[in-house]
Structure 1
Amino acid sequence: MTDPIQCLVVDDKPLALDLLTDYVSKVPFLQLAGRSENPVEALNWVGERQVDLIFLDIQMPQLTGLQFLQALDRRAQVVLTTAYPEHALAGFEHDVIDYLLKPISFERFYQAAQKAQRRLRPAPAATPRPYLFVKTEHRMQRVDLAEVLYLEGLQNYVIIHTATEKIIARQTISSLEASLPASGFVRVHKSFIVSLAHIHTVERSRIFIRGAAPMVIPVGDAYRSAFYGRL
């Protein structure tokens, strides 16, 4: 069993601090190393204690989260927590693991924790299969992943778009997402998963897929920060 990830929670708002502390306690592979409403105090803690991961607010007195990142000098990994989406790009320039917009649900927090686990406690690399089988109306059909442009969810069905055909799989998009290699595909909307290899350009909240029809995939608000982190 690997050692738990030692977490520090930093936020000048007591309610936000209590919420994130509670979330940390619910994730088996996270352990609370400390919590602080004072970013200067928290920065000193990082130099004195073992801290692997920091959940860090941006808008704080004395020291903003972005100033904290500059002073941190990569001594620990960081997940930013804020009510202000305009700081996302600056955060990812500092190679933060994720960017959580308040109010933060536990589901979204857990996704960020899993990303931190993959970076800080990586599992042994496994070679992903270059294909998968999906259940269509009358048969099991092989899908070569290199040919998949994007996937579109429609209630209990998924349309798998390739350059040459559309395959209708009889399952939900969430269940199919679990079968895809995370290195090659990313969920960008509640109804869309795209292949990173086939992204042509990204413009604001739209993804242009090379060879796809229609060629424009929307990026949902809940998925935007994670998507730009993958880019």
Structure 2
Amino acid sequence: MIRCIAVDDEAYATNIIADYISKVPFLELVGTTTSPIEAINWVQDGKVDLVFLDIQMPELTGIQFLKICGNKCKVILTTAYPEYALEGYEHDVIDYLLKPIPFDRFFKAVHKAQSIMQRDAANATASATLPETETGITTAVPAADYMFVKGESKNKFLKVAYSDILYVEGLKNYVSMYLPGQRLVTYQSLTDLAEQLPQPPFYRVHRSYIISIDKVSMVDGNTIYIGDKDIPVGETYRDGFLNMIREKSKV
């Protein structure tokens, strides 16, 4: 679970964010506050993973907040002022949401946050091991092996194991995710999904396709075969993909 707080000098704005958080299975609301000073205390006490942060506040601006504790938590800015976007990204905020914030845009931002935090956790534990067992063998700490995707109804989310995904096809603002005997359609861009999927085993091979290299049965020239599906390799992605295949073919 990602522990969240909403910080805004307008209580109605924090109430909206709190309601949105309650609809997302992997988010946990720690609290809401109209005081950025109180929010800083929560962050410094280690109670918060993700902050939804307003910019224009009387006690302390969102930018000042970022300068104080931006490296101790992840931040999504929530504001009515688009002119602060560049400065916000200079402080490595995850996303910049303009009020009024529609739920689908909020959902896209928190999925991006989940992806980034899973990646950071995987990097942090890549060299970490559990204490030695009696046999003297150490065991690596596993990273998350699944994601949630939005279902066909407003508050429906489906848990998908990465190991089940064969390939993904982009359809404008939607993607079709193909699993054995199942096809899931979710509102999300292929580019955003590519940021969430671990690489490897997932590779983007075309502007419309992401594949799992574990599921590939054959590569023949510019065509990838997964089961009975043949997937083209786009010109932009061809050299990188084929070089990776050549490296894996070396004995």
Give TM class, smaller chain: 0.5 to 0.7
Is structure 2 residue 144 aligned with structure 1 residue 144? no
Amino acid of the structure 2 residue aligned with 1:46 = V
| Alpha-carbon distance, 1:131 to partner | 3.6
C-alpha separation between the residues in 2 aligned to 1:58 and 1:34? Answer: 18
Identify if the C-alpha distance between structure 1 residues 133 and 77 changes in structure 2 by more than 3 Å, giving closer, same or farther.
Answer: closer
CA 1:90–1:132: 2 relative to 1, 3 Å: closer
The match for 1:13 among 5, 10, 14 is 10
Superposed CA deviations along residues 57-90 of structure 1, whole A, max 9, x for unmatched, are 0010110000000011410000000000000000
User: 1:90 maps to what in 2?
Assistant: 87
Q: 1:73 to 1:108 in 2, by over 3 A?
A: closer
Q: Give the TM-score normalised by structure 2.
A: 0.52
Count matched residues.
Answer: 140
% same residue: 49
Q: Does 1:74 align with 2:163?
A: no
Q: 1:126 to 1:18 in 2, by over 3 A?
A: same
Greater displacement, 125-134 / 43-52: 125-134
Stretches of structure 2 that go unaligned for 5 or more consecutive residues are 120-196, 209-228, 238-251
Residue 129 of structure 1: CA displacement?
A: 4.3
Give RMSD over aligned pairs. 2.2
Larger Rg: 2
2:201 to 91, 111, 127: 127
Q: How does 1:26-175 map to 2 (within 5 A)?
A: 26-122=23-119, 124-129=198-203, 131=205, 142-147=231-236
Q: With CA pairs under 8 Å and 6+ residues apart, which has the higher RCO, 1 or 2?
A: 1
| 1:57–1:81 CA contact under 8 A, matched in 2 | yes
CA contact (8 A) 2:75 2:94 kept: yes
Aligned residues of 2:51 and 2:75 also touching (Cα < 8 A): yes
Normalising by the residue count of structure 1, what TM-score does the alignment of the two structures yield? 0.56
Structure 1 gaps of 5+ residues are 135-139, 149-231
